[in-house]
Structure 1
Amino acid sequence: MKIRQILLFSAMSTMTFTTVNAQQSPLNPETEKKIDLLMSKMTLEEKVGQMNQYNGFWDVTGPAPVGGDAQNKYNNIKKGLVGSMLNVRGVKEVRTVQKIAVEQTRLGIPLIIGFDVIHGYKTLAPIPLAEAASWDLKAIEKSAEVAAAEAAASGINWTFAPMMDISRDARWGRNMEGAGEDPYLGAKIAAARVRGFQGDNTFRSPLRIAATAKHYAAYGFIESGLEYNIAQIDTNTLYNQVLPPFKAAVDQGIRSVMNSFNTVNGVPATADRYLLRDVLKGKWGFNGFVVSDWASIREMIPWGFSKDENEAAKSAVEAGTDMDMEGGIYVPYLTDLVKKGKVDQKYVDDAVRRILRVKYELGLFDDPYRFLDEKREKEVIGSKANLEAVLDVAKKSIVLLKNEKNILPLKKSGQKILLLGSLAASKNSPLGSWRIASDNNTAISVLEGMKAYKTSSVSYVEGPKLTLEEPTFLTEVKYNSTDFSGIEEAKKAAANADVVVMVLGEHGFSSGEARSRTDITLPGLQETFLKEIYNINPNIVLVLNNGRPLAISWAAEHIPAIVEAWQLGTQTGNAVASVLYGDYNPSGKLPMTFPRNVGQVPVYYNHYSTGRFNGDPNSVFWSHYSDAEKTPLFPFGYGLSYTTFSYSDLQLDKKNYQKNEPVQVSVTLKNTGNVSGKEVVQLYIHDEFASVVRPVRELKGFELVELKPGESRVLHFTLTGKELGFYNAQNEFIIEPGTFKVMIGGNSDANLTASFTLE
């Protein structure tokens, strides 16, 4: 045993791809010794088994499977050839499989139980893109904490979240899982969500779970917004736009990273040694483990990258993919590859060490059943405190896009309000996508939320059906595009209303994985419906339910009030009603640019200024569209309030700075309206001349401020090299001298400016 341990230590110490970055949590020497001892007792087959993850494949509290693939998987658990299960949930179910692993295998190594806890478990918060619109890091962290608590109470100890893919393409369905288009905001939110899931990374509490940074990398840059596609991306964009949120998650101590499905410049991310070994595990010192996305190792074969399963296994493990999610590749093929000398065993040992490390950190070796308490399960899931927390973040996620003539807030009495649209009464669609542990039809509908205001006069007419049938997570959404039944009833009711509230948008299952769209306007008959009602009564409040930016140019031009309400989860109706009636003053800001039409996509605020980006409108030869404006419909960071704010007195403490000297910036914000409100003050910079062309502006600071009417406050920001530098083509962070412009305001069109020189 001692010789084996020495050999293991020697092999590990020579592996240059396992250096530990000081920003990662330091390794626990006692834990590492325990891992050494356990690995010295493991056979090669058992080590490879730890790298294998199976999907829940039978009613685990029922009889064991007989025959077929399920029988094989069940047998492998008993042989110690499974390291993890996913989609097994509930204390009884998890206890059953954990009992097999711990009590019926040779070494009794516990399973780590994974699940897609994307925006809640049973109690659902807003979809992540909506939460990003809150710009409230504490609320976002709390939301992840609630999700972790409910998942952990049901026996789960590992989530495949948060997603931190930066995306500029509204066609991509998985925008709903992320934080939008900006790497600075995305990095802040990624760190907040990791803190919410993992707490202080000690996992002393049985209500915290290991988090996963996904999808590594460049999944948000797939061509055409088309799921499972290639990503052709330059190094400048990769280092400065895509990777910062992942780096922030690693620095926060995240315990696992998931590969993306896409290729990055021709190489499947699952087999990208540079991204996994050189950057993630090397330069960044990540000491957790990497899990494939669902069968992404096997899918390298149809990609044309690997000719067969043996080659796929070899490419993935050598690149640094530690665990095979439901691919069926490592267990059947990797052991033989090692025995034949085709794969160096150091790669297997490194992967197993990482997986075991996280299991030790979660306390599973001390008590494999620490997450399994039926009393706790009943107390935590769906608690009053959880409902209050998701309501809080839901209200903060709503963005007011337009409010002409102060049509909002609605009056709580003396006003005839007509509510229209299938989505207004839906209790299912507002739950959004990626909510596989929650129950259907458990959302508070907008209709229910508004009816709770007993003094308000609200009537409801559905109008044309939104969909032909109620979709599911596994089916395509089929929108009604021919049946106008109900429109005449709605028009008749609209003629007698003081205000018409129309809830329109996408069904909750129109976004999410494999929900790419080429048309991002209001689907089905909804825009026709909107126009018909507008012709009868133009006093319309449009409430949008959607999981991506929509192209709503006609509505933006004609409808007096527009509220971006996304898909807000369990408490949707209560949150929307509180904003519509003015009990909550909206404070959300867009985390993604809204295009005028799909032809602008990708459109984003931190673009580059080309040689003729701004030209003479009387000339043809400049960067523009001949059939539409190139400006966005609503810019990144945009959002209104029921009050107004003014910005003034932007000051720098001086004009010239040395390289390592902090730049002190101050600005005065004043509430110039009649009600209290919150404003997200946003600071942008522009490096005017650099060795690499820099974006026209980049978000480098923000603060959420609440002010009473007439109140003003001086806000202070500090810019350091971290904000002023950038990555070059060699992935080296550099800070260059030159002139910088600072811009502060309420969105990415901020026009209060000052300049300084870095010497």
Structure 2
Amino acid sequence: MKKLLKLCNVILLALLLQLDMGCMAKKEYEYKFQNPKLEVTERVNDLIDQMTLAEKVSQMRYDAPAIDRLGIPAYNWWNECLHGVARAGEATVFPQAIGMGATFDKSLMFEIGTVISDEARAKHHRFVKENKRGIYQGLTFWTPNINIFRDPRWGRGQETYGEDPYLTGRMGVNFIKGLQGDDPKYFKVIATAKHFAVHSGPEKSRHEDNYHTSDKDLKETYLPAFEAAIKEANVQSVMCAYNRYRDEACCGSNLLLNDILRKEWGFDGYVVSDCWALNDFWEPNKHGLSKDATEASALAVERGTDLNCGNVFDPNLTDAVLKGIVDETKVDRALSRLMEARFKLGMFDPDQMVPWSDIPYEVVGSEKHYKLSEKTARESIVLLKDEKQTLPLDKNISSIAVIGPNANSKQVLLGNYHGTPHNRITPLKAIKEKLPNAQVHYAKGSNIAEGWPLLESIPSNALKNGSNHGLKGEYFDNQKWEGTPKFTRNDSVIDFIWMPKKPIDGLVSDEFSVKWTGQLIAPKTGKYRIGLRASSGGKFYVNDTLKFEFSDDHEPKTRYFDTDLVQGEAKDIRIEFFNYHTDPQAQLVWAHMDEDLLSTAIELAKKSEVVVLCLGLSPDIEGEEMPVVLEGFDKGDRSEISLPKSQLRLMKEVAALDKPIVLVLMNGSALAVNWADEHIPAIVESWYPGEFGGKAIADVLFGDYNPAGRLPVTFYKSTEDLPDFKSYDMTNRTYKYFKGEPLYPFGHGLSYTNFTYDHLEMPNEIKLNEDIPITVEVTNTGKREGDEVVQLYISHNVHDEDAPVHSLVGFERISLSVGETKKVSFKITPKQYARITSEGKIDITPGSIQFHVGGKQPNLKTNPKGAELIQVLTKTTTLK
């Protein structure tokens, strides 16, 4: 009996312990979704089961609110990192994406993605510790832009890697892999391939346009980079575009989002709309696909858009479900994709389980990251022309004139969708540092375009606040200038980038406002442009009259007005600025519109041994859906591709002095610099080169770096060479189909040394559907070490009018010391050497194929100056 009683006690104790452990487990994980040991799918399903319909819909907007009863924190899905973490405080800023494309360096793209995601992770965890969960503070990034830059007039083409689908795919895949990391369980960040698909301008009509292409163009040009991003890089997010394609809105396209993306390619991530794209479904004079927001939200979710950048889903999607327009299971499907992403980022797990959570904040803007940005800037520079060995310049010159609207422009370094750099090294600054013993003269020389002056900070002697120079600044810890200011002070100039600290100590959120008051006094009589370059929003008053107001600016932009001022006459001004996100900036700027910029530049050029002209474009006039309408520019796009007339006039006047001249271009798209090609001995293309751009330019100009960048786009001679901008037919577009003579071809770029190609080896015959191995030896036969971009093109022996002239199927950037030889190997897959038929089908049939290997395209009708030094070898194989 005692033994039985003892046994019963043991069993009872065991049961009690088990019950107690169960209670402990229940206390530790109130819900199954909180248990990190469970499979992600089980956790997601459990979480969704706990939610009401309204709560589900609330999580499908980009600024998803907290669900306190479930312990779900707020999350903002909107982040940007096109060429560095953007709009989230100081970050390393790399060259704009088009410059990255010009590097033709796949491994470099992976390194860049790794550095950017390091900074993104470090920033996110810092924000969470500070209980900040707002816009630009998360881990889901709407990058990269892998649209095809089919037309140089598109203002957003600067965000892409160029005009070629293969180049775009290789660069995009490596960038995405660097961003998302290689951990088997947790993503480092989530990248977004955008804008899906068939999207590349015009900007001003993107909310209403309906594009059509052949199946051949769709499969040969517009889809390959997206397919590679999904199948090779496992990108977890895709952003659908604003426009329609074949009558369906891209964010409501059964063809794109279901048939191709999910069924054909097996995409298992989530789809996010471009911002406020769903409004285009029903708003007047747009797509006209829905009668109201409720129908629009139902159509988008039904077709496969999971996340709305905008405010259409909430509450309209709830109404759509209740009215029976869309089934709640479609809401659950979308939400499961979104919550799976959050779980796979480790957002609901302890930091010690997520390997990316221990990246220290000190990596942000670290010396290692700065060096990579500088390296990228160097690699992106393309030497377009170098007659008479004008370059490199002699460092022993006694005087040099650095002239042009881009010579000292900090904004031109950055392009659009940029972060906030600690360094902003302009060409002028870098040349001064490079030549400490020379006289370095500087002049703007011209405005960036007629009617678009360069705006500079208004100096303190033109501002007055009582007896003080400057303006009275009242600082508030809210967005609305309410209550008593936290403090009041005199600000001698309004030129603030409040990072890393905010202006108010102890500010918990990023929300604050400033009111500046005082007087503006012109030093000269004339017409002035006065502006405020600022983040977030604000208002500008003159003599109590509102001149402009703005809000919801996601990156700093300049708002302005033109006015006549009289010398010495005071105007009362009031500026009300507010900030709501993490990149607070405000600069009060102006320009004297009547100033004679040209004469000063000519006088300085006359007394200089050498002239460096820094010309080109600016992200202030080319970019995304802008209010800018000037001669040659149209709402962010360009209507002409030549240099603006003001800059062309400057160039011709300086060239007439018969001085040694180097033209440095800074721009985001191709320029028809025909006159310069005929008259200027050396031309360098540097894009929007990032925070170390000026240093990279100076290194190239003075021979401390041997340039090897290649053009990722064709430089045409005129808009007359181009088809209609709105036509997405690829006929006569890009190097693959262009029948004319380019000014500078895709893939072009010179070097300070020479390279010889030899021993091109490949099979004479190959069986259908087998890989083709190709090797070639490259030797540096010049007198300097340098990089070479080995390019492999394919052309088929066919007579189809719509067949590509030739297509890039391989490239490698290699470094060679003087006299060194390297063997470069390629493996060309059947998909690469297949033809795309007019029906969009893959066709591999017997016949001959030519391969061309060298430092440029084959069979060019014209050779840019110096291109005769670049060799191309050709060999034929037969498919049997």
After TM superposition, the score normalised by the length of structure 2 is: 0.71
Mean CA deviation greater in 389-398 or 727-736: 727-736
Change over 3 Å in CA distance of 1:276–1:254 after alignment to 2: same
* C-alpha deviation, 1:693, in angstroms: 4.6
> Structure 2 residue aligned with 1:638, among 737, 748, 762?
748
Which amino acid in the other structure matches residue 307 of structure 2? M
> Structure 2 residue aligned with 1:348, among 321, 331, 336?
331
1:32 aligned onto 2:45? no
1:660 aligned onto 2:769? yes
Q: Within 1, Cα distance between the matches of 2:806 and 2:616?
A: 31
* C-alpha deviation, 1:633, in angstroms: 0.5
Query: Is residue 477–residue 507 contact of structure 1 (8 Å, CA) maintained in 2?
Result: no
1:551 aligned onto 2:678? no
What pairs up with 1:58-457 in 2 under 5 angstroms? 82=64, 101=66, 104-106=68-70, 108=72, 111=75, 113-121=77-85, 122-155=91-124, 156-200=138-182, 202=184, 204=186, 208-220=188-200, 222=201, 227-228=206-207, 229-251=209-231, 252-301=233-282, 302-326=286-310, 328-367=311-350, 378-435=361-418, 437-438=419-420, 442-455=423-436, 457=438
Which amino acid in the other structure matches residue 758 of structure 1? L
Change over 3 Å in CA distance of 1:561–1:405 after alignment to 2: same
Query: Is residue 756–residue 778 contact of structure 2 (8 Å, CA) maintained in 1?
Result: yes
Structure number having the greater helix percentage: 1
> Structure 2 residue aligned with 1:651, among 744, 761, 769?
761
Q: Within 2, Cα distance between the matches of 1:369 and 1:153?
A: 15
Structure 1, residues 320-350: CA drift from partner, whole Å, max 9, x if none?
0001111x22122222322332212332121
Change over 3 Å in CA distance of 1:113–1:485 after alignment to 2: same
Change over 3 Å in CA distance of 1:299–1:162 after alignment to 2: same
Q: Within 1, Cα distance between the matches of 2:846 and 2:240?
A: 37
Query: Is residue 504–residue 542 contact of structure 1 (8 Å, CA) maintained in 2?
Result: yes
Query: Is residue 605–residue 635 contact of structure 1 (8 Å, CA) maintained in 2?
Result: no
* C-alpha deviation, 1:700, in angstroms: 0.4
Consecutive unaligned residues of structure 2, counting only runs of 5 or more, are: 1-36, 86-90, 125-137, 456-530, 534-555, 562-589, 626-635, 724-731, 860-871
Q: Within 2, Cα distance between the matches of 1:417 and 1:370?
A: 58
Query: Is residue 80–residue 417 contact of structure 2 (8 Å, CA) maintained in 1?
Result: yes
Change over 3 Å in CA distance of 1:455–1:198 after alignment to 2: same
Q: Within 1, Cα distance between the matches of 2:315 and 2:262?
A: 26
Q: Within 1, Cα distance between the matches of 2:773 and 2:352?
A: 52
Hey, what does 2:796 align to over in structure 1?
A: 687
Hey, what does 2:604 align to over in structure 1?
A: 493
Query: Is residue 430–residue 508 contact of structure 1 (8 Å, CA) maintained in 2?
Result: no
Structure 1, residues 414-438: CA drift from partner, whole Å, max 9, x if none?
4532211231122232122112x41
Q: Within 2, Cα distance between the matches of 1:446 and 1:193?
A: 28
Which amino acid in the other structure matches residue 317 of structure 1? V
> Structure 1 residue aligned with 2:640, among 519, 531, 540?
519
Change over 3 Å in CA distance of 1:601–1:225 after alignment to 2: farther
Hey, what does 1:607 align to over in structure 2?
A: 736
> Structure 2 residue aligned with 1:43, among 52, 55, 69?
52
Change over 3 Å in CA distance of 1:33–1:692 after alignment to 2: farther
Query: Is residue 98–residue 159 contact of structure 2 (8 Å, CA) maintained in 1?
Result: yes
SS in 2 for 1:703: strand
Instruction: Count matched residues.
Output: 661
Which amino acid in the other structure matches residue 152 of structure 1? R
Query: Is residue 689–residue 738 contact of structure 1 (8 Å, CA) maintained in 2?
Result: no
Hey, what does 2:548 align to over in structure 1?
A: none
Q: Within 2, Cα distance between the matches of 1:727 and 1:285?
A: 21
Change over 3 Å in CA distance of 1:215–1:483 after alignment to 2: same
Q: Within 1, Cα distance between the matches of 2:699 and 2:365?
A: 21
Structure 1, residues 554-604: CA drift from partner, whole Å, max 9, x if none?
111110000001111111111111111111100100000011112223564
* C-alpha deviation, 1:47, in angstroms: 1.8
Query: Is residue 351–residue 357 contact of structure 2 (8 Å, CA) maintained in 1?
Result: no
Which amino acid in the other structure matches residue 698 of structure 1? S
Consecutive unaligned residues of structure 1, counting only runs of 5 or more, are: 1-27, 55-81, 84-100, 614-629
**Superposition CA RMSD, Å:** 2.9
SS in 2 for 1:424: coil
1:530 aligned onto 2:651? yes
Change over 3 Å in CA distance of 1:525–1:663 after alignment to 2: same
> Structure 1 residue aligned with 2:441, among 446, 460, 465?
460
Query: Is residue 680–residue 703 contact of structure 1 (8 Å, CA) maintained in 2?
Result: yes
Query: Is residue 762–residue 775 contact of structure 2 (8 Å, CA) maintained in 1?
Result: yes
Structure 1, residues 669-715: CA drift from partner, whole Å, max 9, x if none?
22222111111110110122389953110100111122222333333
Hey, what does 1:720 align to over in structure 2?
A: 829
Query: Is residue 461–residue 489 contact of structure 1 (8 Å, CA) maintained in 2?
Result: no
Query: Is residue 480–residue 524 contact of structure 1 (8 Å, CA) maintained in 2?
Result: no
* C-alpha deviation, 1:511, in angstroms: 2.7
* C-alpha deviation, 1:188, in angstroms: 0.3
Structure 1, residues 215-241: CA drift from partner, whole Å, max 9, x if none?
000112x46996544433221111111
1:582 aligned onto 2:703? yes
Q: Within 2, Cα distance between the matches of 1:110 and 1:360?
A: 14
Structure number having the greater strand percentage: 2
* Pair member with larger Rg: 2
Query: Is residue 53–residue 325 contact of structure 1 (8 Å, CA) maintained in 2?
Result: yes
Q: Within 2, Cα distance between the matches of 1:474 and 1:318?
A: 37
Query: Is residue 31–residue 360 contact of structure 1 (8 Å, CA) maintained in 2?
Result: yes
SS in 1 for 2:406: helix
